[in-house]
Chain A
Amino acid sequence: MSSRDHILREVRRSLPADAPLPSLDRQWTRYDDPHAQFFDVLRGVGGAGRIVTGEPQLREEIDRVIAAIGAKQICSVISEAAAGNVDIAAIDDPHALASVDLAILPGELAVAENAAVWVNAARVRQRVAYFLSQHVILVVPYDRIVSNMHEAYAGLQLSADGYSPFGETTWGTFMSGPSKTADIEQALVIGAHGARSLHVFFTKP
């Protein structure tokens, strides 16, 4: 007998009595001002950001970040935000992104309760850009925010344009703040393996 059949037989031999699968359709906490809640939590997890109106203001904010970190190699997928000098669309081997200082990337959906931003491979050919770049900026449309994780999963499955991130072979991450560790005596250090800093800009037209 194969291990698969053996395990399944053992599992089925000793199943406990049935228990119903509960409905998750409840009144979950919602926020009157989800952006304020988002930034409040984001600051708590070591991130930064703000709401910007119009492309000039977005560019201004991003230039400020570039100057502050002294970024030289910049990979931008948001052309209206910054031009960048690393063209991710032309890169076949993800290792080629090892020297990127700053990546300016799209965020698909923000969650107010935990400052998480859903990112996926829809517009970023090499997902490693989110993790290998020294610093990351996420640009999220102003109205792409929900209060809690329940709304987030509902939103991901039924996005307005009919795109479903789970309907095809794909990948996605909830990113909340920069990379961090407290593995040495519980002292919090920002920038363990992934991004040393994470900025989130919500863009209003």
Chain B
Amino acid sequence: MPTQDHPAAANAFVADDAHAHWHDQALWFIRAKRDKCAHGLAEWEELRELAAQIKQHTVAHLGDYLEQFERNATRLGAVVHWARDAAEHNAIILRLLQERRVRRMVKSKSMLTEECGLNPFLEQHGIEVTDTDLGEWIVQLRHEHPSHIVLPAIHIKKEDVGELFHRELGTAKGATDPAYLTEAARHRLREKFLAAEAGLTGVNFGIAETGGFVVCTNEGNSDLGTSLPPIHIASMGIEKLVPRLDDMAVFLRLLARSATGQPITAYSTHYHGPRPGCELHIVLVDNGRTTLLASEEFRNSLRCIRCGACLNTCPVYRRSGGHSYGVSVAGPIGSIVNPSRDPATHRSLPFACTLCGSCADVCPVKIDLPNQLLTWRQRIAELGLLKPSKRRLMHFAGAVLSRPLLYNVAGGVGRAALRWAPRWLVYNRFNPWGRQREMPLPPKETFRQWHSRQSRDDKPSSS
């Protein structure tokens, strides 16, 4: 995989200024809805703390809980499969489908299958896969990937959806009304649901003590996809477990409030074994999660429940869009978990961050995201993966900042340059900061000068 450079990829997104502004505001609106929901619940902070503790405990006993989950799920009639990586996950699903001669499968939202690249793999083998979450279906029809883990099509304008549906579904040319477009999708996707021979879902939570799992949607697409065809396949990351059924109360109270500012999703479905006469397969996937678990610094990110709150609040995500990250899980959490899979490819992601700390404030499971992002920057420097320009700049800054005299001289030169130098000398390709911004006017006096003047002036009156 080629190196994905976040700033370079973000250029395309910020080029459409009006849309970038809309994107920023739309996500901030969801953040505000989340705040309203959170503040409406007296025990909100208590719930966050409990969720963090439950996940911490689960990770510390993950081996036992995985075995308990497998045992109970099997007892309920499900078949549990284990996949070490994306290729094994995809191969298991292909085999299940081929053995049953399935040609058409409906799929509800699963970031794990995005991570594994399941759709193109199955399509290569002649199986039609339809993503049934409206946003995911839109990006599928556009041959794109979701740009947000909860709002897959947040980067797309309604005019573009209208154009797409006109071409694909024969909706009226120029129609952009979301209700009209959604209705058209409803009709086409009902046909897909009714014709499907298998349904695949992700998993929001697996429950070790019961062997069941929970899938949350607002559209009801996963419910249709698992109540009509005779085969249900559930793809589940090994970190998705909670120990007890009662723990679901904590997580369902947190999830939708954190994600979209709703009290709960419209459908929170608990699957405990297959429908009578039908099949249920659960594929437990590692794909780099045990690597994350082995890292003392980054394993807390395994607590993540994929609510997307850190994306919605992140000033860099909101202004650069999900595709700039070049990964299935973007935003602050993605900038931690993706480098641990492949630091060289994703080396720019931990720098797509202002270290403002907003993500940690909203995370429902209290992941210390800014600390982990800062730590990743250090790791990337240690691994020799910094871009040459950044590495030279850091060397230069280190040299100047460690020598007081040089620092003073450099400061004086900088102040003079900003005041007197011609524009082309300050605003050029070596100063990316100045591309969209004016540099500040330097103060007449440095802090040092001000301080020594103050102590001089203060002396007579204080004695």
Contacts and interface: CB of A to CB of B under 8 A. Distances in A.
Given A29-B41, A180-B218, A180-B219, A150 B29 contact: no
Chain B interface size, under 10 / 10 to 19 / 20 to 34 / 35 or more: 35 or more
Interface stretch (B10-18, B261-269, B443-451): B261-269
A185 B294 CA distance: 40
A6 B272 CA distance: 26
A186 B244 CA distance: 35
B438 interface: no
B252 A150 contact: no
Contacts of A113: 41, 253, 263
Given A15-B60, A175-B267, A131 B220 contact: yes
Contacts of B161: 184-185
B246 A150 contact: yes
A99 to B, nearest CB: 11
Contacts of A130: 223
B248 interface: yes
Contacts of B378: none
Interface residues of A, number: 73
Contact of B227 (A2, A132, A177): A132
A115 B263 contact: yes
B76 to A, nearest CB: 5
Nearest to B137: A183
A35 B291 CA distance: 48
B179 A12 contact: no
A94 interface: yes
A189 interface: yes
Contact of B157 (A126, A150, A185): A185
A102 B286 CA distance: 43
Contact of A179 (B67, B227, B266, B269): B266
A8, A95, A170, A186, most chain B CB atoms within 10 A: A186
B231 to A, nearest CB: 13
B327 to A, nearest CB: 21
B274 interface: yes
Interface in A112-133: 113-116, 126-128, 130-132
Given A6-B84, A169-B77, A171-B272, A17 B60 contact: yes
B253 A13 contact: no
5 contacts: A15-B60, A22-B53, A98-B190, A184-B178, A194-B221
Interface of B: 26, 29-30, 41-43, 46, 50, 53-54, 56-57, 59-63, 66-67, 76-77, 82-84, 88, 132-135, 138, 151-154, 156-158, 161, 178-179, 181-183, 186, 189-190, 193-194, 210, 212, 218-221, 223-224, 227-228, 238, 243-250, 252-253, 260, 262-276, 284, 286, 290, 293-294, 296, 299
